[in-house]
Structure 1
Amino acid sequence: MKLLELYNARIVEARTLNEVNQMHIALGNSLTPTEVVYLHGSLFAKGKHKPPALRPDSRFTSAQLEENGRLWIDQLRATLKDVGKSRTELYRRHDLHDAVVLFSADRRKPRRNLVVALTGANQRLMMPLATFLQNFDSGTTDVLYVRDSSRQGYRGGIPGLADDIAGIGPALSSLIDMAAYQKRVSVGVSAGGLPGLVAALRLG
């Protein structure tokens, strides 16, 4: 599904502006830098984006939706600029598991470095995903994004992949060839901190 179609599909489910904001937060947890740049130039732009008709019981107007949406994407785009790079990092999304995504410019050619990033219980990295990715060089570094799908601090591991914290590292190794990378580091935020340390030890 194209990005604008995805945005519209999410919007038609919202009844209040608070639900719209929640949708924006969720999108911010999944968009790559290039997708943010694309949406910034396309969202609610004449000739590029036709917003959907709102549901009959919605508590906001089309004008309010546009104002809210533009504010969100403007702020998200600004976070990329704040990183201080002249180029946009060219990460692409590769789903490996329900809770694990590899972000790589070219999956066929693993980069020299791999960053294993474990989210907290809110499934975020303390910043929008695109902002996190923009801080790395997509020409040298891949990012393995791991979310706490159980929202229990990984105490039960990762549903469908690992049964406990100690099993997360080996489980990730079953999804991706860790040996293909010269350097591997892990980053864990909030509830992902301890699992990140354990994963680092297990991954060497």
Structure 2
Amino acid sequence: YVLVRFDYLTKSPSKAVISHQELASKLNVPSRMFTPQASGTPFTGNHLQLETLWSRLIGGSLIYPDDVNVSEHRHVEGAVQQVTVNRYERDPSARRRCIEFHGTSCKACGLNMAYVYGPDLGRDYIHVHHVIPLHTIKDSYVIDPEQDLVPLCPNCHSMVHQRNPPLSVDELRSKIMPRYIALFR
């Protein structure tokens, strides 16, 4: 892993240097490598290539972590940032039909939130995952809630989306079941 502190790599941290999509494209890695959702994701690219590219982009020499007194850095959060995204419409009745058909237990790990968090907090809480990601279809379509949707707990839902394209539920299940069995022996 490499901790990249982009705010320390330029003398003008408030000035946009490159979008994460452009950076990923130039390094031939998925763009999510440089987004908050992927924090903790290992960068498997060429680190020298990244340093060279960044140096060219900022038009100067790089600042290395040893050159910065990190203890002086204040961790400021909460600034408002306007973001434009595509939102894919979902039909709430398709979600209800999926849950009626499949139930509220995770299809990957079997977790039912009501068992863990109690019936007041956890009853009927489950994420509903699109087997085929909506953004890949590029158009509206008629969904079959029994075949196209599957209930997943929040952790499993996040884990299937750690890969692009997402892992199938069967792939995730095959990864976690041996560990579950070992946990409860």
Q: TM-score with structure 1 length normalisation?
A: 0.23
- Rg larger in structure: 2
Larger RCO (alpha carbons 8 Å, 6+ apart):
1
TM-score, with structure 2 as normaliser: 0.25
Kindly indicate which of the two structures has a greater share of residues assigned to helix: 2
Point out the structure with the larger strand share: 1
